[in-house]
Structure formats: structure tokens, C-alpha cells
Amino acid sequence: MRTTVGIVGAGPAGLLLARLLHRAGIDAVVLESRDRAYVEQRQRAGVLEQGTVDVLRAAGAGERMDREGLRHDGVELRWAGRRHRIDLAGLTGGRSVMVYAQTEVCKDLIALQLAEGGPLLFEARALAVEDADTERPRVRFRHRGAEEVLECDYVVGCDGFRGVTRRAVPAALAQVFERTYPFGWLGVLADAPPAHDELVYAGHDRGFALASMRSPSVSRLYLQVPAGTDAAAWSDDALWAELERRFETADGAVPARGPITQKSVTPMRSWVHEPMRYGRLHLAGDAAHIVPPTGAKGLNLAVGDVVTFARALVHRRETGSDALLTSYSPTCLRRVWQAERFSADLTALLHRAPDATPFELRLQRARRERIASCRAAAADLAEGYTGFPF
């Protein structure tokens, strides 16, 4: 099998890249190790930055998002029983975010790829990327019980942290930067109306909590818990009681209860692999970087990566210059590190570190008060939350 771009992984990054390349008239093949049902059902991010929304619309993949997604012009921060609204649109010249689940993004992009795009092979497990430092890289993969080879001009690894593409980068050339947090997020899906019409980020003495939503009748809620917590150890009643404690305000606002349909724990880590390019292999999304979910940056960073690659490849076709492809890694990493900084800062602002000293807790309180009282500080948060330029 032969193509211009071999894309490993059919998450939102790989699917969007295939769509962008198709619109540009560049052929690509997408290999996905899982079946279609799994890809369309795995629960991940649900907040799309302004730039991601704009890219999906421009790619012809925004119709259902605009119809069913929930645009948010602000977010609410809560601490000490008080509410502090961050006016995202007012502080950023009209930028906002869209609540639209990754599962729905994938469904939209899969439908478009199967109807209009190049080959999308499910249950095609990549085994290795070979000859990445040559002009003819190749991907060995297993599909329908047989081992096959995809010959490409370029390979883009969108296969996540545990994927195989990153292994093609020689260890002697790689640097890894990492922070592991001593807490995680216990997340639940509940058939209950959202706690508020915008996302609520709560900093509490008992720990962080987040109230999000998937629709007007389905809530997505999170609690900070110690690392290694077993979700099954929390009963539904205990979960609701703890959520009510952490979201409570002076006016008595608490989330509405409802049946919990899903429960899981997400570990918290910051992780970056440099470089993001080796020869004609380009890493994107979780294959190259992971952020704690506090800032809702994971999916959006992946979108920035594939937009950067697609632009670089179109530039090469139009000018004959490899300059943008050669600079792919430093270009992406500038945005990645800004998102890592933002996510780490927001995590520190809102979470209760188990070993925090009284001095550190006072500093945290001072940072919160600064955001609540200073327009410039609130604007910096709003600009980071709505997204850094691609």
C-alpha cells in the first residue's frame, strides 16, 4: 500500500489531519488499532477552544457541532463560598469555548472520512515505523490477521502515549520532561441537569471539583482524589455528598442529583517529549505531550499540531520549500509549553496539594484574590483558556 501521508491513530488528531489533507488534495491513509465502535464511544475531552472550533468549521466538520454544541462565553470560579465569573468573550475580544464531546468530534470526522476521504482502516494495529530518517518511511501494521506495509512520504504519529510511533525516535536524540501529581480526578457522568449554565471550577479546602456537561440533561463532574484511588470505592451517595460540599456557595447553590452512569479516575501528569519530529516522522497529540486536564488543553493541543503539519505540507507543495516541515517541532513546542504552563498554573491555583504548607496556602489564596480583583490577571487566564494561536 502506498500513500503520501501515513497517519497512525484515528482519534480526533488523526481524523482531523486526514480531513485537512483531503481538503488540500493530499492523499493519506489512516490506521486505527481499535474498531469503529470503540473510537466513537471512548470518553475524553469535552471543551473545544476557539481555534479548534474555527478549524472544524473551515474543514466542513462543524455543522452538528454548531447545532448541538454549547457555546460558553465565560467560566465560573468558586472558592470560600463565593462566585467569580471570568468573562472569556469580554476579556479576549469575543473568543469563547464550545462544549462538544470528543466522541462527537470523532463521529463527525469518521463519517466525513468514510464518505469523502481516503482509506480509514479500523483494527489495523501499527507494529513499527521504519526508515523514518529516509525519504521513504514505512509503517508495518497488522490488519485482518495479516501483516502489511504502508509506504509513505511522511508518517504522522497520532497514536497516543502508548503508541508505537514515538519508538522510532532514537533514544539518544530524545528528551522527556515530566511531572506526576499526587492526586487524580474522579470523574462521573450523570443523568442530571448541569449545575450551572457555564463550567464551574471550584477550589475548596477538601480539594478541587469541576462541574461540566455533555448536554442540557447530562452532567460531567469531577472530584480531586488521592492518586491511586479506586473509583469503585466511592458510592453514588458519597460522591454526591462530596460534590455538594465542594460546590456549595453562600447562596446555597449545589449540583442537582441524578443517576450516575459512568465512574472512573484520571491520573494527573504533565509530560513532553522532544523533539516532535525525526526525519519524516512527525508526532502529534498525546504521542508527544500530555497535560493535566484542568485547562482542557489535550485535544486542542493535538489540533494545533496537525494544523501545523498540514500547513507545512501544503507550503512545501506550493513553494518546494521544506522550511515549515523542518521547523515543525519547535513551532509546535512553543505552543505546547505555553499550554503546559497554563495547565500547571491552573492546577496549582485550584487544587489542594496534600503536602501544602501554610505559607503555600496563603500564596494560593493571594493568587485567587488577584484573579478575582484584577482585570489584567483575569484576562491572562481568559486568553489561556480560550487558546493560544496555532
Choose, from 222, 278, 328, 385, the residue flagged as catalytic. Answer: 385
Choose, from 100, 297, 328, 351, the residue flagged as catalytic. Answer: 297
Would residue 107 show up in a list of annotated catalytic residues for this protein? no
Would residue 170 show up in a list of annotated catalytic residues for this protein? no
Choose, from 154, 201, 222, 328, the residue flagged as catalytic. Answer: 201
Choose, from 282, 293, 328, 351, the residue flagged as catalytic. Answer: 293
Residue 17 contacts residue 57 (beta carbons within 8 Å): no
- Report d(CA 210, CA 191) in Å as an integer: 16
Q: How far is CA 151 from the centre of its chain?
A: 29
Would residue 278 show up in a list of annotated catalytic residues for this protein? no
Grid cell at residue 34:
481499535
C-alpha atoms less than 13 angstroms from C-alpha of 89 in its C-beta half-sphere: 9
DSSP for 338-387, written as a single string: HHHHHHHHHHHHHS--TT--HHHHHHHHHHHHHHHH-HHHHHHHHHHHH-
Residue 287 contacts residue 166 (beta carbons within 8 Å): yes
- Report d(CA 28, CA 136) in Å as an integer: 15
Residue 6 contacts residue 61 (beta carbons within 8 Å): no
C-alpha atoms less than 13 angstroms from C-alpha of 389 in its C-beta half-sphere: 2
Would residue 201 show up in a list of annotated catalytic residues for this protein? yes
- Report d(CA 202, CA 129) in Å as an integer: 44
Would residue 293 show up in a list of annotated catalytic residues for this protein? yes
Choose, from 72, 196, 273, 289, the residue flagged as catalytic. Answer: 72
- Give 87-95's long-range contacts (Cβ < 8 A, gap of 24+): 87/378, 87/382, 88/382, 88/385, 88/386, 91/375, 91/378, 91/379, 91/382, 91/383, 92/379, 92/382, 92/383, 92/386, 95/50, 95/382, 95/383, 95/386, 95/387
Q: Which residues are part of the catalytic machinery?
A: 72, 201, 293, 297, 385
